[in-house]
Amino acid sequence: PEAPFPQAIEAMQAVWSALPAWRDAQGLRANKTVVAGDSAGGNLMAVLCQQLVAAHRPLPDLAVLIYPA
């Protein structure tokens, strides 16, 4: 891995938290959010979704997890 645990998870949390403001700044009017990951990325997406549930935060509308490992 490029960065030791838990940096990848923390980076994903930061991106997820910044997404609504970025979407507004870009003038996007998307009402659905999809996350996807393959292998380790799929595992990171699953962890992100579990953390969002535990924190009672909004979830992605769809999560595509391909061989999460």
Tens digit of pLDDT for each residue in 13-64?
A: 999 999 999 999 999 987 899 999 999 899 999 999 999 999 999 999 999 9
Which whole number is the average pLDDT over 10-14?
95
Tell me the helix, strand and coil percentages in the chain, rounded to 5.
50, 15, 35
pLDDT of res. 48 = 94
Query: What gap in Å lies between CA 53 and CA 50, rounded to an integer?
Result: 5
pLDDT of res. 43 = 93
